[in-house]
């Protein structure tokens, strides 16, 4: 029997985009695919649009789930609870600003897990990182190193680029979109709801799998997720900073000895290249997308800076500054 694919889409007020998002999933899906549209406190026309998509696609299994503005963790778990986790398959979890464009997605994922091995657990299609050596005592916001990002991602400045056909191991897989096999959910359970409503559920689940001998990583698929599409919550919860701090403290306490073990050893950064997973000229197209996203990211990062801060921002990116840092580093050593 072919593996099933559960697509869990978390949605909050995305009437301008959600039809494209769901239709992109339909275009990537096959006979063993099941779509779960989780509408989380939507006050716009998102539910009406989902109803229309369901009506227009009677041969596609699309289940609508209504949640009362509970945010991402509880929404994902609602989709995982309703979907079938008892048979071989994969859960593809994506937010309402991700348009899938890889029509061989299911074939590639099935083959990836065969080639990398049965101990492959949590896979991000966007971003991954390793834990910093001072993860336990670090109380700042920068807890990760060795960032690696898909060329289709947001082009963050501190990440190496992963190209089409490539997979890289990282301790922490970061969404969205991501993939978790049904066997993993069946064995290790849902996202930790002690972290609800949001933040660092990726970190917790990745550590849960590392503790049990699994590996996590990043794999490149073609998708689109523009920076301008994010930020759907018009009134972000003022306690977001508290959620992040509390969740990190919770994770450090829960996995203290496991984290010590991870940061005391060499964390995996190996990259695999599967040439048959990418089409001709796809790397060039992906890099073109990456360059566009990089420019958008740059504009996004500087739009609220003062003139002096903007000058400093661009100076730190110059070859002169990077060369100066290298010279200072060499002199110190």
In DSSP notation, 175-226 reads -SSEEEEHHHHHHH-S--GGGTTSS-HHHHHHHHHHHTT-EEEEE---EE--
Q: Which helix (H) or strand (E) holds 257?
A: helix 256-264
Confidence check: pLDDT of 36 > 70: yes
CB contact set of 283 (below 8 Å; sequence gap of 6+): 151, 163, 164, 165
- Across the range 223-238, mean pLDDT stands at 70
- Structure tokens of 154? 């947001």
pLDDT for 1 equals: 76
Please state which of the ranges 155-164, 202-211, 287-296, 324-333 shows the lowest mean pLDDT: 324-333
Average pLDDT, the chain: 91
pLDDT for 84 equals: 97
pLDDT for 93 equals: 98
* 213 contacts 151 by C-beta, under 8 angstroms: no
pLDDT digits (tens, 9 = 90+) for 68-108: 999 999 999 999 999 999 999 999 999 999 999 999 999 99
Give the domain 4-302 fold: Spore Coat Polysaccharide Biosynthesis Protein SpsA; Chain A (3.90.550)
Report the interhelical angle of 240-254 vs 256-264 (nearest 10°): 80
* 92 contacts 124 by C-beta, under 8 angstroms: no
Between CA 206 and CA 215 the distance in angstroms is: 8
């Amino acid at each position: 029997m072919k593996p099933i694919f559960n697509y869990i889409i978390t949605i909050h007020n995305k009437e301008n985009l959600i039809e494209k998002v769901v239709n992109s999933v339909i275009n990537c899906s096959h006979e063993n695919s099941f779509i779960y549209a989780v509408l989380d406190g939507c006050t716009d026309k998102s539910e009406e649009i989902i109803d229309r998509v369901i009506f227009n696609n009677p041969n596609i299994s699309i289940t609508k789930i209504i949640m009362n503005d509970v945010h991402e963790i509880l929404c994902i778990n609602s989709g995982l609870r309703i979907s079938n986790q008892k048979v071989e398959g994969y859960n593809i979890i994506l937010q309402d600003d991700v348009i899938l464009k890889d029509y061989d997605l299911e074939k590639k994922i099935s083959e990836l897990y065969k080639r990398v091995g049965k101990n492959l657990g949590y896979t991000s299609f966007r971003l991954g990182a390793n834990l910093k050596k001072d993860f336990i005592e670090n109380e700042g916001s920068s807890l990760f190193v060795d960032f690696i990002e898909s060329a289709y991602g947001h082009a963050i400045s501190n990440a190496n680029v992963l190209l089409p056909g490539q997979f890289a191991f990282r301790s922490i897989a970061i969404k969205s979109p991501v993939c978790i096999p049904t066997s993993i959910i069946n064995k290790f359970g849902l996202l930790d709801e002690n972290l609800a409503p949001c933040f660092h559920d990726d970190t917790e689940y990745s550590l849960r799998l590392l503790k049990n001998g699994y590996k996590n990583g990043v794999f490149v698929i073609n998708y689109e997720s523009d920076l301008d599409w994010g930020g759907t919550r018009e009134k972000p919860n003022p306690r977001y900073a508290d959620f992040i701090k509390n969740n990190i403290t919770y994770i450090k306490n829960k996995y203290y000895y496991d984290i010590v073990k991870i940061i005391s050893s060499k964390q995996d950064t190996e990259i695999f290249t599967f040439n048959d997973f990418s089409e001709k000229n796809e790397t060039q197209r992906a890099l073109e997308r990456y360059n566009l996203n990089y420019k958008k990211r740059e504009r996004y990062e500087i739009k609220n800076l003062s003139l002096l801060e903007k000058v400093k921002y661009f100076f730190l990116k110059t070859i002169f500054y990077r060369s100066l840092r290298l010279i200072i580093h060499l002199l110190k050593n």
